[in-house]
Structure 1
Amino acid sequence: MLYVDVPTSKEVAALNLVRSDACISIYLKTTPLTQEIRDSQITLGNLAKSAIGQLEGAGLEKRRIWPLQENFDSLLEDDAFWKHQAHSLAILATPDLMRTYRLANKLTDMVKVSDRFHLKPLLRAITFPHAAHVLAISENAVRLVEISSDLPATELRVPNMPRDAASAVGKSTINDSGTGRRLEGLQGQKVRLGQYVRKIDAALRPILMHSDIPVVLAATLPVESLFRSLSALPLLPQTIEGSPDHLTDAELAKAARPVLDGYYKSQIEDFHRLFEQRAGQNRVTTDISDAARAATFGGIESLLVDIDSITDGFVDDRTGAVTFASEGDADNYGIVDEIAGRAMRSGAHVFAVRKADIPADKELAAILRYPI
């Protein structure tokens, strides 16, 4: 099983507000295979040592460094924690707090030290998690399957999940008909399928309602249309067509991956189309300084940022004016990372992508709420 605890967009926006004399952001590759996790622990030890060294070099008081070192040492010794991992681990720490997030994405090992957290890799995890749940429903069966990029698909046990439509409504079949019955024929079948769907929805809500992992529906009519109309679960618009009854978990995972890829691709394509439309209205920018000012005053509607590059410096809290730095240190921070955080706090849609997905191969591209 892939253990993930991805923060919500609201959590990331709150993390962007954290300020401290020592904010350490560490991202490292991990593995769900417990027998191979030792390499990740060694990497974390090295990255934490590098971060502590930067803080010592910046002259931070030892009484502020000791809590950080103790928290990292405690985490490294927590065998139960390391037994349940995903593909990457994010660790955000100050002398007063530590947050960990297990991510489905495969991220590059890195450490960043500043007065605020470096959050762009977390944005990538929110944008494209590369994991999903497949909800396979028919009159005869229902199951929830977890898929990821390189692990076998796994069916999850869901408390109170009905076995099939008939047992969900206390019948031997939902297709019975006859004179004198209150619910007959197609009308009765639809009513009972609705009862079945509502029970499935109630069982899944505690698991899926607040998850950022996409949900792909595998079903045929009329179950598909009923579920989409009666459930508030965050389903992707495209359905795996055909009856899922005879598909293995692995076959469902294979069928879901093109759906996920298409969904992610459509989000970027939609951004590019709107970017081109708004360009003629002076409501776009790929300039870091312009984007920083717009983000500071809540002027960004949608934003693409390059996950890999880091431009160090400062963004003025009041004016949004940018000061660029020649290299990173324990005082400055990633400017684009800060722009993304400010944009999120004002309700912008932020996508962390590869540079090739950004117009003109820039470090960012913003669609604005008003002309500049």
Structure 2
Amino acid sequence: MHIDMPSRADIERLAAARDDLSITVYLPTSPIPVNDEENRLRARALFDEAISRVEQLADKQTARALTDDLYALLDDLEFWRDLGRSLAIFVTPSSVLEFRLANELTEYVAVADRFAITPLLRAVTFPQAAFVLALSQNGARLIEVSADAPAQEIEVPGIPPNAEAFLSPRSIGGRSPYGRIQGDEGRKVRLTQYARAVDHALRPVLNGESLPLIIAAAEPLSSIYRGVAGYAQVADEVIGGNPDDQSPAQLAQAARSVLDDIYAAELKELAEVFADLRGSGRAVSDLSDLARAAAMGALDTLAVDMGAVVPGFVTDDGALVLEDASSSVVPGHDALEEIARRALATGARVLALRRADLPDGVQAAGILRYAFISGRATN
């Protein structure tokens, strides 16, 4: 399975792009090779739908060029042999960009003056990425887990080969050179020394990172390492037992279960923070307030319902203008997406969640950098 996870810069670039013929296609795909032809047939149906809409909006020459671009991708058999669980495609008369994603998205096709980004936001809201420290008395390994590549071991210069070699010539259960500790007490002291040496070797490698570090170790080494770790993002949950016989792929599988728990805890914390700040005016769910806050750069965190569409737009001064869904709405003009675009442009964290994960089941919820009333900041 091949995955191309978009970066925040990719999403911001797509969110800001404007072209009267912006084609957005999302489709679920199967990474299993036997389903290659089914993937292509499903894509062709969506491409044909997009082309039909383009033909109503563009001259014949432009429509033909866009058709050729889409079908050139369709005819690239190597591309269709190496997919993830979804495909996101963004096309204009001058560019074609695609991402193979790890999570399954719903079929979607649109032709508008901008790309639809909410499904793509869902793909990066919880990235399924982490580091795993597989730690035992026999050695330590740092494994990088990501959604866009197989798990792999990272070389860590200076990491102790094992506890016994690090503490040579005495065993970790023996007496100290000065005879002051022995037995279980001496073993704990020496394991602490070993864990600290591992941590010091890891620090230059993890410097500047923000992904969770999941410890895979048996007790007491797991707790000992946690007590000396200098990395701020050590996960509370561990992968228990001796990790020596587990491959990077097996450790990655266990890590993803831990990540699911981490993300569930983040959602719970988001709901609690929202509830705490609501009374002070620093948490809002009314779309008009959110639109105004986004225009003012007041949003710190925005969560939107990944399945909701609110026909309408946001004016330059942040006014929300809703449209009748039964009327002739310009495709792609989704007020919820426009709020998300503006929030992204001002550095806010934007999450695409399921409705059930949003506070009180609202369509969107925002935590503000500062409170405001009727567009004016308050202290």
Give the C-alpha shift of residue 78 in structure 1.
1.8
Instruction: Return the letter of the residue paired with 2:70.
Output: F
Which blocks of at least 5 consecutive residues in structure 2 are unaligned? 171-175, 179-185, 374-379
What is aligned with 2:106? Answer: 108
Give the C-alpha shift of residue 139 in structure 1.
4.5
What is aligned with 1:81? Answer: 79
Does residue 165 of the first structure (1) align with residue 164 of the second (2)? no
Give the C-alpha shift of residue 253 in structure 1.
5.0
Relative to 1, partners in 2 of residues 1:88 and 1:134: Cα closer, same or farther, differing over 3 Å? farther
Give the C-alpha shift of residue 16 in structure 1.
0.8
Instruction: Return the letter of the residue paired with 2:342.
Output: R
Whole-Å separation in 2 of the counterparts to 1:62 and 1:137: 63
Give the C-alpha shift of residue 147 in structure 1.
7.7
What is aligned with 2:371? Answer: 370
| Matching of residues 97-246 of structure 1 within 5 Å | 97-130=95-128, 134-141=132-139, 142=141, 144=143, 146=145, 156-158=151-153, 160=155, 165-166=160-161, 174-177=167-170, 216-219=214-217, 220-224=222-226, 228-229=229-230, 236-246=235-245
Residue range with higher mean Cα deviation, 186-195 or 6-15: 186-195
Whole-Å separation in 1 of the counterparts to 2:132 and 2:34: 28
Instruction: Return the letter of the residue paired with 2:349.
Output: H
C-alpha contact 2:320 2:335 (8 A) present in aligned 1: no
Does residue 259 of the first structure (1) align with residue 258 of the second (2)? yes
Give the C-alpha shift of residue 331 in structure 1.
4.5
Give the C-alpha shift of residue 7 in structure 1.
1.5
- Structure showing greater Rg: 2
Give the C-alpha shift of residue 105 in structure 1.
0.9
Relative to 1, partners in 2 of residues 1:147 and 1:243: Cα closer, same or farther, differing over 3 Å? farther
RMSD: 3.6
Give the C-alpha shift of residue 158 in structure 1.
4.2
Whole-Å separation in 2 of the counterparts to 1:74 and 1:235: 46
Whole-Å separation in 1 of the counterparts to 2:250 and 2:154: 24
Identity of aligned residues (%): 31
Relative to 1, partners in 2 of residues 1:323 and 1:135: Cα closer, same or farther, differing over 3 Å? same
SS at match of 2:84: coil
SS at match of 1:317: coil
Give the C-alpha shift of residue 112 in structure 1.
2.0
Residues 137-161 of structure 1, C-alpha deviation per residue, up to 9 Å, x if partnerless?
Answer: 335242637587xxxxx97444746
Instruction: Return the letter of the residue paired with 2:47.
Output: A
Residues 42-89 of structure 1, C-alpha deviation per residue, up to 9 Å, x if partnerless?
Answer: 1111111111211222x2223333332222112112222223221111
Whole-Å separation in 1 of the counterparts to 2:146 and 2:346: 33
Whole-Å separation in 2 of the counterparts to 1:265 and 1:116: 32
Does residue 95 of the first structure (1) align with residue 93 of the second (2)? yes
What is aligned with 2:62? Answer: 64
Whole-Å separation in 2 of the counterparts to 1:320 and 1:295: 10
C-alpha contact 1:135 1:145 (8 A) present in aligned 2: no
What is aligned with 1:280? Answer: 279
Instruction: Return the letter of the residue paired with 1:119.
Output: I
C-alpha contact 1:114 1:329 (8 A) present in aligned 2: no
Give the C-alpha shift of residue 345 in structure 1.
1.7
Relative to the length of structure 1, the TM-score reads 0.79
C-alpha contact 2:343 2:350 (8 A) present in aligned 1: yes
Size of the aligned set, in residue pairs, is 352
What is aligned with 2:356? Answer: 356
SS at match of 1:278: helix
Instruction: Return the letter of the residue paired with 1:347.
Output: G
What is aligned with 2:291? Answer: 292
Whole-Å separation in 2 of the counterparts to 1:371 and 1:264: 30
Which blocks of at least 5 consecutive residues in structure 1 are unaligned? 149-153
Instruction: Return the letter of the residue paired with 1:284.
Output: A
SS at match of 1:333: coil
Whole-Å separation in 1 of the counterparts to 2:64 and 2:137: 59
Whole-Å separation in 1 of the counterparts to 2:295 and 2:87: 30
Whole-Å separation in 2 of the counterparts to 1:323 and 1:357: 25
Whole-Å separation in 2 of the counterparts to 1:304 and 1:157: 32
C-alpha contact 1:325 1:332 (8 A) present in aligned 2: no
C-alpha contact 2:191 2:224 (8 A) present in aligned 1: no
Whole-Å separation in 1 of the counterparts to 2:159 and 2:242: 14
